[in-house]
DNA sequence: GATGAATGAGTATTCATTCAT
DNA sequence: CATGAATGAATACTCATTCAT
């Protein structure tokens, strides 16, 4: 992962992390200013433009940076587990915990290209978004293979399998958004797994 | 329907429709200007402020206007059908067709409160959004009753039932976003129904 | 007097009184809106323009209306008194009491044409202002005659006499402006009279 | 002098001087636009807001800048003279000459806090205005001391002394406003001095 | 490379004035 | 005559971007 940001210099990463800091401070990405980003990153405003050509590029690339990291972390979580169910639960748990941080952009990615109303700073990143979505599908299919091998789920046409996983995931993320108790999230994870298994049998 | 906008005057509706026109022209709501809205509505810029106090209020209330309409239309579609499966398919078909128009805000609603990164113009409408989500849940549970009565699905705990419906729906909407062939959408609808039924049996 | 507003219709007077009400509510004349005036006058906004051609004209003519009234009242006060000193004190007392109302525009008049920084709404009324100043000078000279007749003051060149009266008056008004105790005002009146008499002997 | 603006940066002063230029062009401070100020100062519009937070702040601080300068210049004039009468005449002459420039804000200061109808941009500067008035009173009392020492005037209660000086000054300024011949001003100065001396004996 | 002062294009909002009713 | 809904010109202020140091 981070393939598409592989060349990010140290300074660029400082900028991404500055934006992350702002997101965690509950700043809305549509309203953040270049000055705020520079300050959060601990650099001068002009320096931003030595590494990016527009503010929107900064934000878009930060979003992808965060998504890539998030995906990589989820994969790492799953790799620590051997069985299908444990992998699923590990991923769902990780996502739930991260959602408390504000910088989990997973839901953003899941909505993918959303009918023209994507945040403006992502308009330019459609292509990149699609690539990320394909990566997600790849991960999902690999995970499904594990389930099939264990006999927990049944192999089905790949389009269907992907739709099941993403449906369960999106429904889960929806529960994680907005105010809720910790138990709600845990229960939603439980249900998401149940949906997965039932829909794939 | 349109319960919460019932008092909208003729002029307010003209403004909503102006915004709808802009959305259909693929204008991004975060970037639309007051002038554009006035022009699209066929009125003077100052007139906007006789009916709304800020531009963001215009947009937020338009979004709710569109969502209310959309929901009402979906309900109307479903009422024309007698059986659970037909109701589901009618709703999914309607959503698919509408998604080609750009003014289907369903996906927006489905994301609900999304972790602080909602479009700024919706910040003020959180409460309203929650109310709409509850309305959606009510519709879903009524629909589920039909399915149970017909023996197509099994009654389960309501939280689970809602999560299943919304998961299937969100996964479906995800497929409708972005470039795709007509057949993809039809197939996605088929799969969404399948997910529903399997997960509720 | 009120000679120059003689033709004011009932409605025009309602408008003047509306403005007076606003002034008493501590509204700044430079910032008052036509809507506020119409509302304070209890009439429709459009009606204003049946009697005046611009908002600034409304304000300027109101100012003159108020000044004329104020001057007339001061003269009436003085006519009730027989002796020079009593006339002076009656005028000073009246001014002090009125100053607590916010609609005493005397100080405005006293500054007369003030180096290009008059309130914009008075720009058009320069001519009228000069006429009012002449009226004031006439009153002052008549009052001085009384003093001379009584032997309290000495007749001097009229330019000097006028300057003395207006100086004493302006210095007095300055004390009435801003926060002060009741006693300060009374003492300032005493001093103003003292200045008058000394300077005219 | 300029004590209270001591920290003004070079750019701030350029802005003040821009406003001064506009005043001399007979622009009304209540109607001047931010763009005009920027242009007059020879800087970009945005730059204004790097040094001031609102347009009104610019104007208010300019007024105090001009008043401070004016007061300092008057004091300097007076210090060049040894005797009471010469000091008075020097100050009156300086004021008369400056009044032809439009940027003499002395009359503004003399009116001090004027019952709610101050120009809006000065609303925030009331406190500052009071401080300046106290400075004026201090100067007046020092000047009076000279006169007392020379036996030209008699020491009286300080409140009375101040009121005499300011009355004479305001009456004088009133004559300087509006159209007049040069001789009128000279004569008014002569009279103002006469009022002073008589009222303080 | 790094900086941040300077810039001016861009926009929401206000409000005097008009005019159809 | 009276009204107030409609209008759009006018303007303060923001902020992405540049560039001299």
User: What is the mean predicted confidence (pLDDT) over B109-122?
Assistant: 61
Closest residue, chain C, to D25 (C-alpha): C116
The answer to whether residues B68 and B4 touch, using CB atoms and an 8 Å cutoff, is: yes
Q: Do B115 and A102 touch (CB under 8 A)?
A: yes
Distance from residue D46's CA to nucleotide E4's C1', rounded to whole Å: 14
Collect all residues with Cβ–Cβ distance below 8 Å to C130 and sequence separation of at least 6. Answer: C112, C113, D178
B119·A30 Cβ contact <8 A: yes
When pLDDT is cut at 50, 70 and 90, the band that residue A113 belongs to is very low
The verdict on a CB contact (< 8 Å) between B117 and A108 is yes
> Does pLDDT of B6 surpass 80?
no
Residues of A in contact with B30 (CB under 8 A): 30, 119-120
Enumerate the residues of chain C whose CB falls inside 8 A of the CB of residue D179: 113
Looking at chain A, which residue has its C-alpha nearest residue B160?
A191
Q: A–B: how many Cβ contacts below 8 A?
A: 138
Q: Which token pair is D57? A: 């702040």
Judge: A110–B174 Cβ closer than 8 Å, yes or no. yes
Average the pLDDT over D10-36 and give the result.
93
C-alpha B31/C-alpha A15 separation (Å) is 25
- D touches A (3+ CB pairs < 8 Å)? no
Q: CB under 8 Å to C111, separation ≥6 — which residues? A: D107, D111, D174, D177
DSSP secondary structure, A30-47, as one string: TT--HHHHHHHHTS-HHH
At what angle are helices A55-79 and A34-41 packed, to 10 degrees? 50
pLDDT tens digits for D107-117?
Answer: 666 655 454 56
Do A5 and A61 touch, CB atoms closer than 8 A?
Answer: yes
Please state, in angstroms and rounded to a whole number, the distance separating the CA atoms of residues C191 and C88.
12
Distance CA A190, CA A192 (A): 5
Q: Inspect the interface and report whether the beta carbons of D104 and C115 lie closer than 8 Å.
A: yes
Residues in chain B: 201
Asked whether at least 3 C-beta pairs link C and B within 8 Å, the reply is: no
Q: What is the model's pLDDT at position B95?
A: 92
Cβ-proximal residues to A134 (8 Å cutoff; 6+ apart), any chain:
none
Nucleotides of chain F in contact with protein CB (under 7 A) are 1-20
Distance in angstroms (rounded) separating the CA atoms of residues A116 and A118 = 6
What is the spatial distance between Cα D66 and Cα D31, in angstroms, rounded to a whole number? Answer: 18
Which of A136-150, B21-35, C93-107 has the largest mean confidence? A136-150
User: How do residues D62-85 score in pLDDT, each as one tens digit?
Assistant: 989 998 999 999 999 999 999 999
| CB-side neighbour CA atoms (13 Å) of B14 | 13
pLDDT of residue C85 exceeding 90: yes
| CA nearest neighbour of B192 among B144, B174, B141 | B174
In the structure encoding, which two tokens stand for residue B187, read together? 């197939």
Residue in chain D lying closest to C201 (CA): D198
**Dihedral over Cα of C109, C113, C118, C120: its sign:** positive
pLDDT at C178: 64
CA distance C175 to chain D (A): 8
Pairwise CA distance, residues C41 & C58, whole Å: 12
Residue A4's pLDDT band, with cuts at 50, 70 and 90, is very low
Tell me how far apart the alpha carbons of residues A86 and A92 are, in angstroms, rounded to a whole number: 10
Q: Does residue A27 or residue A181 have the better pLDDT?
A: A27
Which residue's CA is nearest to the C1' of nucleotide F14? Answer: D46
- Is the pLDDT reported for residue D1 higher than 90? no
Residues of chain D found within 8 Å of residue C32, distances taken between Cβ atoms: none
Largest CA distance in chain D: 57
Phi, psi of D12 (to 5 degrees): -60, -40
Mean pLDDT check: name the lowest of A135-144, B20-29, C97-106: C97-106
- Res D176: pLDDT: 85
What confidence score (pLDDT) does residue C101 get?
75
Distance of residue B150 Cα from the nearest chain A Cα, in angstroms = 20
How near does any CA of chain B get to the CA of A166, in Å? 6
């Amino acid at each position: 992962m981070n393939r598409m940001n592989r060349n990010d210099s140290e300074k660029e990463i400082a900028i991404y992390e500055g934006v992350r800091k702002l997101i965690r401070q509950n700043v809305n990405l549509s309203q953040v200013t270049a000055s705020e980003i520079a300050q959060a990153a601990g650099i001068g405003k002009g320096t931003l433009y030595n590494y990016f050509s527009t503010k929107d590029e900064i934000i878009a690339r930060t979003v992808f940076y965060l998504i890539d990291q998030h995906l990589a972390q989820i994969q790492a979580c799953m790799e620590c587990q051997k069985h299908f169910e444990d992998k699923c639960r590990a991923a769902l748990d990780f996502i739930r915990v991260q959602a408390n941080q504000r910088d989990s952009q997973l839901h953003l990615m899941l909505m993918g290209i959303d009918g023209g109303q994507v945040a403006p700073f992502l308009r330019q990143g459609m292509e990149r978004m699609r690539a990320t979505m394909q990566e997600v599908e790849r991960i999902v299919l690999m995970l499904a293979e594990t389930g099939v091998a264990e006999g927990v789920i049944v192999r089905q046409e790949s389009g269907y399998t992907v739709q099941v996983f993403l449906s369960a995931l999106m429904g889960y993320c929806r529960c994680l958004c907005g105010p809720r108790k910790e138990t709600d999230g845990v229960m939603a994870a439980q249900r998401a797994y149940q949906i997965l298994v039932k829909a794939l049998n």
